[in-house]
Every structure is written in structure tokens, then in C-alpha cells.
Amino acid sequence: MKIAIGSDHAGYELKEELVAYLSNKYTIYDKGTFSKDSADYPEFAHAVANSIENGEAEMGIVICGSANGVAITANKHANIRCAICWEAEIAQLARAHNNANIAALPSRFVSIQQAKDIIDVFLSTDFEGGRHQRRVSKIGIV
């Protein structure tokens, strides 16, 4: 699986940990930021969403302090369903029921181990389809 990941400065250390953790299992496209210097979260959320839209990656991970900014930004893209995931059960439901293709992590509210657990569940859960597909189909603006 190909995964795009990006964060602002608040999520930089968690992003680096996840890149190292996931690189053994997946192809990772690191979209930045590449330091703890202050950075604008929309740049990295857009880069991850664009990577999915253009087919470079299948799934994405975006990280900022609260996960709100990156989730709001990513969800501006058509066919992106970004879910804020602060625990594994939320990640499982986001995939199974909402067919989320980007997980947004709040770096100030999850530990490195929690983030690894959340992402493991997110990436290993399949979309259930069925009644959920009908609902997901209604998400886009017509």
C-alpha cells in the first residue's frame, strides 16, 4: 500500500516516528514538514490530499496539534474523506462506515504508541459497503 503523510511543526516529531514505523510495511510519501520550525498546516494537508487524488497514494495521514486544521483542509478536496482519529475504535469506524481515506491525528492528545495503534487499525480495516456506501455516496456536494 502507498501512503502519503504530512504534518505541521506541532506534528513533526509524531510524523517522523510514524514514517520510521510504517516504512518497513508500506511505501511512504513524506509530504513534509521536515523540521520543527513553524509551518502552515494547509500546505501539508493539501499535499497529502493531492497525492491521493492524483493516484500517487492510496491512503493518507495528516497531523497537527488538534487534528482539526489538517482535517478541515483535507476535506476541501473532492473524494477525500478525512477523519479525526484519537483512538483505535474511531479509526476502525471511520474506515468501516465512512470509507475514510485519510486519518487526521492530534499530536498534542495521543502518544506515539496510541498513534501507531490508531494507524494500524485504520490501515487494516476494510470499508463495509452496503448501507454505508449509500451514505458515503451522499457526502459530496451536488
The catalytically annotated residue of 46, 64, 82, 85 is: 64
Q: Containing domain of residue 95, as a range?
A: 2-136
Is residue 97 part of the annotated active site? The answer reads yes
pLDDT in tens, 10-61: 999 999 999 999 999 999 999 999 999 999 999 999 999 999 999 999 999 9
Give the pTM.
0.97
In a domain, 18, yes or no: yes
pLDDT in tens, 71-129: 999 999 999 999 999 999 999 999 999 999 999 999 999 999 999 999 999 999 999 89
In a domain, 141, yes or no: no
In a domain, 142, yes or no: no
Cβ atoms of 99 and 92 within 8 Å: the answer is: no
* DSSP notation for 98-116: H---EEEEETTTS-HHHHH
In a domain, 116, yes or no: yes
Find the CATH number of the domain harbouring 17: 3.40.1400.10
Q: State the total domains in the chain.
A: 1
